[in-house]
Chains A and B, each alone.
Chain A
């Protein structure tokens, strides 16, 4: 396994770097196509998806990242990162684009505005629990059969997939990087 980049245009970059570091993984900030070339996998952090999408275009990274995704690079997107990877984005800007690398439909702010942001325990496929932090989080509404569900959130109205994977592309509605629990990053890194 080589180094894992963290897209560092905007958002909670530092927490992802710290989590990777805690796992003993070599990591680097990525703000340019040249820096993207130097990493073997990439984390798309939490932040504002519209701002990150805008900065991907102006930095020349939109095409470069698209090519790496097409070539099968492993990517983990959290919150805004999930939105950027999704095939369909509801309640976004009229011109909101995304890579479509993950065959899911997500609704931006699907759990509500900031006053509805929440913490809740999540259940992994093996029955164990990880802490979930949801901040103006996207909600996964549907997925194709190619998308595997790795963690769920159960609430009064049902159970939602919140950590999903399609081959090398991983997406989380929540922010594993905001807690001391390194499970999600560890599972991603172990898959490389």
Chain B
């Protein structure tokens, strides 16, 4: 018998489950309802509602905070796909506001200015699921230990340069392989070195993947970038500045969606890359004054 007494919301399964539903797809940063519509029309699986894309946050400086609820609600009213929004690292009050607004995923994001230099949000306390960035396996498992239901590489947001995302993905997947090949005695030392919860290290060693989906973010700006990170093990792609800072956002959005689905078919990547116009200009990461990936611990 089923009845309302046995109905459970906010379980780990339904929180991680939404991330499973996004696999293979593209999540696009949008700053207004018009961009959200472009994203949905192009086949995005979700949008990230924020006031400024990372490239503009980088340019403008100042403190970057949670977006105005009105803007988030306008985007929720415009599209039928999931709407995500960002809270500052450690700023659980911003996350509470986003949950009250009914956003579908909260990104506890290094793109915004951190609110707490020691603690991330206790994500188990929420019904809404969280995605967090990571640069390596230890960081990913610490976030999962705090309740994150989806991990993305941090990359270096707003640069249009995929090099940091590749570094982070490779670091995570290489360390997972190392865990798989370690013997039982070594796993305790690995957990200590990673500063990661032992049960999660043991789980990774046994399954060969994170307990939650692994997506890629940070610097993806062409269809070939999407193909690259998908082939490196990312199960879906976040694109921040890469679409709406390109010459032809509508075409770029469509092309990156195709590239994520058909990531292992170079003939498709070639076709969608042809005559696409220029990608966002981008930054060499060695020239950056502010490294966003260093935020969070």
Stretch at the interface among A51-59, A62-70, A182-190: A51-59
A113 closest partner in B (C-beta): B102
Interface of B (DSSP majority class) = loop
Q: Find out whether the CB atom of A115 lies under 8 angstroms from the CB atom of B18.
A: no
Q: Find out whether the CB atom of B43 lies under 8 angstroms from the CB atom of A119.
A: no
The residue that B18 contacts in the complex, of A15, A93, A119, A135, with Cβ under 8 A, is: A135
Set of chain B residues within 8 Å of A119, measured between Cβ atoms: 7-8, 11, 13-14
Q: Find out whether the CB atom of B40 lies under 8 angstroms from the CB atom of A133.
A: no
Set of chain B residues within 8 Å of A79, measured between Cβ atoms: 21
Cα-based distance from A134 to B7 in the complex (angstroms): 10
Cα-based distance from A153 to B3 in the complex (angstroms): 8
B104 closest partner in A (C-beta): A114
Instruction: Output the least CB separation between A46 and chain B (Å).
Output: 5
Render A1-37 as a binary contact track against B, CB cut-off 8 A, 1 for contact. 0000000111111110000000000000001000000
A–B pairs, 11, beta carbons within 8 Å: A11-B25, A48-B46, A51-B25, A55-B261, A108-B80, A114-B18, A114-B129, A121-B1, A121-B2, A121-B6, A123-B1
Q: Find out whether the CB atom of B14 lies under 8 angstroms from the CB atom of A80.
A: no
Q: A54-B42, A80-B21 are in contact. Are A136 and B3 (CB under 8 A)?
A: no
Q: Find out whether the CB atom of B261 lies under 8 angstroms from the CB atom of A135.
A: no
Render B1-28 as a binary contact track against A, CB cut-off 8 A, 1 for contact. 1111011111101110110111111000
The residue that B23 contacts in the complex, of A10, A31, A59, A121, with Cβ under 8 A, is: A10
Q: Find out whether the CB atom of A116 lies under 8 angstroms from the CB atom of B9.
A: yes
Q: Find out whether the CB atom of A12 lies under 8 angstroms from the CB atom of B261.
A: no
Interface flag for B239 (CB, 8 Å)? no
Interface flag for A129 (CB, 8 Å)? yes
Set of chain B residues within 8 Å of A96, measured between Cβ atoms: 80
Cα-based distance from A95 to B2 in the complex (angstroms): 36
Chain B CB within 10 A, most for which of A10, A116, A129 = A10
Interface flag for A105 (CB, 8 Å)? no
Q: Find out whether the CB atom of B45 lies under 8 angstroms from the CB atom of A51.
A: yes
Q: A13-B23, A120-B7 are in contact. Are A31 and B2 (CB under 8 A)?
A: no
Instruction: Output the least CB separation between A123 and chain B (Å).
Output: 6
The residue that A133 contacts in the complex, of B13, B42, B128, with Cβ under 8 A, is: B13
Render B88-130 as a binary contact track against A, CB cut-off 8 A, 1 for contact. 0000000000010011110000000000000000000001110
